[in-house]
Structure 1
């Protein structure tokens, strides 16, 4: 009876099981790579029954999509430095910390792999793009309210975030503060006709 009550309570047993399963998926991706483990492997690593995983997520792809989104959609406070350049530099630095952290490369590889797994993978990719765009748009809207000439969200994705993702996906070094600031500076310089280059 107490177990049923705790399963209903937010933050109770259900939340603990989800956290254990998410951790197990992230560990297995890091160790074996995408496509090299089963629901049974995840359940064994998490210390739960296979049926618990199937009951909650339905299949492995749905679980993997949820893990990718939850890890890559970290909702860090959006920066408000008073300038567009400062906000974009700070935001880009936050994203760099997310994707280069202990689980960042593995989860980023998972997000890319999922885009080729059918409808659920496409939904995971779309949800990630939507969240990143929403985050960026809040920064860009605020810049516009201050009278600054803000780029489109997709320009920031293309010129700032995409190069960082590529470096992490291909195991390249170099997400230094100088590199990240340079991406932002080049985007803003290009928009102002190359001033400051």
Structure 2
């Protein structure tokens, strides 16, 4: 490298701006209803000009969608050795992810038609749900069990949670999440271990 050539900064200003804006959105979502979020409020919190946000993301929905993909639940916890317990933990984590401050607004932004023209946000949401469930099911199969199919778990656990949270139905809490698993295991068509 030539002494006159400046060293490249890892990430640089663009990465710092992006991190500051993402953090501002996350912090503001914890403090207020996401309906009260605005680009000027995010810009002020991030210490950037609103024009920077408009230029980079275009709309608040696009910014929320990007932040949504960064703030989803991590990989499922290690197997407890019991399928029912693992499915309850999965259901509770899914509910916690959706009901965290800004959670449902982040989800709606991620799958909004004007943002998600190619339906990639919907596919990504389904992929995240499926990967989490597959980890639980793989552990169960590894113990010699015959667990329900991924599709059945999506229908009986994941879909009801999303539906109830999206439509703000009352009593959608950990007790409800556990009850979905209990109902699944009390279904006579469900293979028993």
Q: TM-score, normalised by structure 2?
A: 0.74
Stretches of structure 1 that go unaligned for 5 or more consecutive residues are none
1:80 counterpart residue number: 79
Change over 3 Å in CA distance of 1:55–1:67 after alignment to 2: same
Per the TM alignment, residue 16 of structure 1 is displaced from its structure 2 partner at its CA by: 2.8
1:89 counterpart residue number? 88
Equivalent residue, structure 1, for 2:35: 31
* Secondary structure of residue in 1 paired with 2:169: coil
Counterpart residue number, 1:173: 170
Report deviation, 1:151. Answer: 1.8
Match in the other structure for 1:193: 189
> Structure 1, residues 154-188: CA drift from partner, whole Å, max 9, x if none?
22121112112222222222134332222112223
Q: Distance in 2 between matches of 1:8 and 1:148?
A: 51
Q: CA deviation at 1:92?
A: 0.7
CA contact (8 A) 1:76 1:94 kept: no
The residue that corresponds to 1:161 in the other structure is 158
- Decide whether the 8 Å contact of 2:64 with 2:105 is kept in 1: no
The runs of 5 or more residues in structure 2 that have no matched partner are: 1-7
In the alignment, what sits opposite 2:120? 123
Distance 1:128 1:77 in 2: 15
Residue 60 of structure 1: CA displacement?
4.5
Q: Distance in 2 between matches of 1:32 and 1:61?
A: 13
Aligned pairs, how many? 185
RMSD: 3.4
- Kindly report which structure 2 residues correspond to 1:30-49, keeping only aligned pairs within 5 A, or say none: 30-32=34-36, 39-40=39-40, 42-44=42-44, 46-49=46-49
Higher helix share: 1
Query: Secondary structure of the equivalent of 1:144?
Result: helix
Aligned CA distance change for structure 1 residues 18 and 46 (closer, same or farther; 3 Å): same
Residue aligning to 1:99: 98
Contact residue 159 and residue 183 of structure 1 kept, 8 A: yes
SS at match of 1:107: helix
State the Cα distance separating 1:129 from its structure 2 match.
1.2
Alignment correspondent of 2:24: 20
Map 1:63-78; keep pairs closer than 5 Å.
Answer: 63-71=63-71, 73-75=72-74, 77-78=76-77
Larger Rg: 2
